[in-house]
Structure 1
Amino acid sequence: MQIGLFLTNQQPLGADQVRALDGQLQLVRAARDAGWDSIFAGQHYLSESVTHIQPLPYLARLSAEAGDMNIGLGILLLALQNPLDVAENFASLDVVTRGRLILGVGLGYRDVEYDAFGVGKTGRVARFEANLDIVLRLWAGEEVDADLPWCRLRGAKLNLLPVQQPRPPLWMAANSDRAVQRAARLADAWMVNPHATASTIRRQVDLYRLTRAEANTGPGAGLPLMREIFCAKDRVTAVELAAPYLAEKYRTYARWGQDKVMPEAESFDIAYEELAQQRFIVGSPEDCLAALLPWRDEVGVDAFIFRTHWAGMPLTSSQGSIDLLAKEVVPVLKDGAN
C-alpha cells in the first residue's frame, strides 16, 4: 500500500505566493517524515479565481524536500503540448528527481485552455494519442519521424533519457467510460479521480480491468485512487475546518465545467452535503478508515493519494489532518495490505 499527498499549487487571488510555496514545502516535509511514499501536483492554465504554479518548476523544487518519495504529476495536459518538449522536460525531471518521477497525463476539459493554445477540442483524442506515442518512442531511444501540424521531426533522437528504464511509470486520468478504456489500453495505471461517486468508480474499475484483459495489457501498475480527505478529532470538527474550502474548490470546478465530463450526468452545482456523499472523506480517524478500507479490501486499491488542503485553508488545519492521518489512519491502511 502506497500513500501519497496531493499538494495545492492553487492559491486565492492576492495570496503571498512565496509564503504559500513555503507552506506547501512544510507539508511535503511532514509527509516525508511520516514515511509517506509520494507527492503529486496538477496542471491548469488561465485558472480563473485562483493562481496556479506550473508543475514543472514546482515539482523540481518540491523534490529537493521529498527525500525518497516519488514525485508525480497528476496531470499533464498532454494534448496541449509539443511532444518533443514533454519528452525532453520530463526526462530532465526524472534526472532531477533521481529516477522517482511518475508522469500522469490526461485530456483536460476546459475550453479556455484549448482556445488559448489554438487547439480545438475536435480531434483532441487523436492529438493526445499521437503526442503520447512520440513521447514514449523518444524515451525508448528511438529515432522518431513525425509530420504533424504541431510537431515535425526527422530522425529525432533524445540524448538525455529518463533514469528509469524502460521509462517512468505512466498514469492516465479518466472520467468518462471511454477515457477509462483508453487508460486501460495505453497507460500503466488509471489515476482514479476524486470527483466521481464511489458507485460510479466501482463500476468503472470493473470496466478498466475488463478492458485491460481484452487488450492483453497485463495487470498494470496497480490501482491508484485520489481522495479528498480531512481528518480531525471528530466529524463535527472536521466538517467545520474543511467544508468551506472543499465546497469552494468544487464551486470552482462547477464554474470550469469539470462536472460536464463526468459520467452518470453528475453535477457539482449542488449543496455541500449532497456533493460530499460518496466523494469526500471528512471526519474522525474512525470515519476515515471506515471509508478507506473498503477501497483497499473490496476494490483492490493499492495506492491512495490524499488531498487534504485546498486554496485558502490555514496551513495549521492541513498540517493537523496530515499528522492525524499519519498517526491513526495510514498505519492501519498499510497493515495487512497487499
Structure 2
Amino acid sequence: MTGLKFGILPTPIYGAETPYRKQVTEHEELVASAEQLGFEYMVAGQHFLGSELRYFQPVPYLTHLSHAAPTMHVVTGIMLLSMANPVDMAEQIATLDVLTNGKTVFGVGLGYSDREFKAFGVSPKQKVSRFEDGLELIKALWSGERVNYQGRYWTVEDVQPAVLPAQPSGPPIWIGGQAEPAIRRAALLGDAWYAPPFPSHEGLAKLRATYLAVREEAALATDGDFPLRRELIVADTRAEAARLAAERSALRYSTYRSWGLSGQNTPTKAPTGGIEIEDQFILGSPDEVVDQLGALQEDLGMTHFMFKSHWQGLPHADAMRQLERFGTDVLPKLI
C-alpha cells in the first residue's frame, strides 16, 4: 500500500545552556530539508517550565517555522488544554490557521506533569473535566455561530466570535493519549487519535481496536485519519539500528520519567528508561523499515507517520543524516 503522509518533529534537544539561535536555526534547516524530501507536516509540542529541554511555545514557533517550509501543514502535537483557557486557545489556534492558510491541525491532550499543573493552579483531578469542557467551548467558538456557553469552568454569553479559523468549523482535532480512557475520549470527541510512541507494538494494536470499536458503537466514521508516532531508526542493519536506538533514547526517556510520565502504556521502568527497543521501535535497513511502516498502514490503518530524527545529545549533523536517509531511502516507497 502507498499514499502515506509524513511529518517531521522539530524536537527540543537543548536546555537554557545552548544559545536559542542554535536551536531555531537547526529546526529551520530540519523543516526546510524535510519539505524538499516530501514531508507534508511539521509537529511541535508543548511543555512549560522545562529545565532539561527548551520548548518554545507551539503557536508562534510553528508560525515562524512555516516560513522556512511554506507548503507544509503545521500540527500542535500536543497542546495542554486542561491547563489552558479555551477562549484564548481557540483564538490562538484560529490565528495560526489563518496565518498558515488553512494548513493547521489542532493536536491536543491532557498533560501529565505535576510541576506544570501546580504552576497553573490546576488540580490534576480536574484535568479530564477541564479538557472536555474546554474542547466543547473551542468547537462552539469555531462554529461561526453566536455562542452561549455555560460549563463547569467557563461562561461565554451571547458572543459572535470574529477570530475564526480559515478552515470552516476549525482545524482537524487530533487527541493524544496512550491510556484506554484517553483513546475512548479521542474516539468520541476528536477527528483522530494521535498515537504517541510509548505503547508496545502489541499495545498499539489493542488501543487502535478500542478506538475503532468506540467509534463504531457511537455510529461515527471509522475510516478517518490515524496519525501515528513511533520511534524509528534506519541503518545498514537491524542490529546497528537497535544499537543506535538504545544509545539515543536513554536520555530522552529518562527525561520523560523525571517529568512524571507514568501510567498505562508508558515507559516507567528504571534504569533503562522503561523502554523495550524491539517492542516499541521501528528498526532496520531501509527495506525493513518500509515493510514495518507498510504493515502499520495495512494492519492498523495508519494514514500519517510522524518522524523524529533529533535526540538529546545527538549532534545536529547526525540528525540531518538520519532525516536524509529516511527521506531518500524509505519515504519515496510509501507516498
**Shorter-chain TM-score range:** over 0.9
2:228 matches 1:225: yes
**Structure 1: distance between partners of 2:259 and 2:296:** 29
Q: CA deviation at 1:272?
A: 6.3
Greater mean deviation of Cα atoms: 207-216 or 9-18: 9-18
| Number of positions where the alignment pairs a residue of Structure 1 with one of Structure 2 | 332
**Aligned residue number for residue 135 of structure 1:** 138
Match of 1:261 in 2: 263
Q: CA deviation at 1:288?
A: 1.9
Letter in 2 for 1:219: T
Tell which deviates more after alignment, 230-239 or 65-74.
Answer: 230-239
Instruction: Show the counterpart of 1:277.
Output: 278
Taking every aligned residue pair, what percent have the same amino acid on both sides?
Answer: 33
Q: Is the 8 A contact 1:72 1:102 kept in 2?
A: yes
**Aligned counterpart, 2:201:** 198
In structure 2, the partner of 1:323 is 324
The change in CA–CA distance for 1:256 and 1:272 in structure 2 (over 3 A counts) is closer
| 1:109-164 deviation line (CA, Å, top 9, x unaligned) | 11111111111011221111110011011000222234557533221221121111
Distance 1:312 1:158, change over 3 A: farther
Aligned-residue offset at 1:277: 2.2
Letter in 2 for 1:317: D
Give the 3 Å change call, closer, same or farther, for CA 88–329 of structure 1 in structure 2: same
| 1:119-198 correspondence runs (5 A) | 119-147=122-150, 150-198=153-201
Letter in structure 2 aligned against 1:278 = D
User: What SS is found at the alignment partner of 2:59?
Assistant: helix
Does the C-alpha gap of structure 1 residues 268 and 2 become closer, same or farther in structure 2, counting only changes over 3 Å? farther
Residue 251 in 1 paired to residue 254 in 2? Answer: yes
What residue ranges of structure 1 are gaps of 5+ in the alignment? none
Amino acid of the structure 1 residue aligned with 2:196: N
| TM-score, structure 2 as length reference | 0.93
Farther-moved stretch of structure 1 (308-317 vs 4-13): 4-13
SS at match of 2:92: helix
Partner of 1:308: 309
Cα distance in 2 for residues equivalent to 1:231 and 1:111? 35
SS in 2 for 1:261: coil
1:297 alignment partner in structure 2: 298
Is it true that 1:31 corresponds to 2:34 in the alignment?
yes
CA pair 244-162 structure 1, distance change in 2 beyond 3 A: same
Structure 2 gap segments, 5+ residues each: none
Contact kept? 2:15, 2:51, Cα under 8 Å: no
Decide whether the 8 Å contact of 1:82 with 1:150 is kept in 2: no
* Structure 1 residues 19 and 242: alpha-carbon distance in aligned structure 2, compared to 1, 3 A threshold: farther
Q: Please state whether the residue corresponding to 1:14 is helix, strand or coil.
A: coil
Query: What is the root-mean-square deviation in Å for CA atoms of aligned residues?
Result: 2.0
Moved more, 284-293 or 104-113: 284-293
Distance 1:331 1:253 in 2: 32
Distance 1:175 1:193 in 2: 7
What amino acid does structure 1 have at the position aligned with 2:209? D
Q: Which secondary structure state, in structure 1, belongs to the residue aligned with residue 168 of structure 2?
A: coil
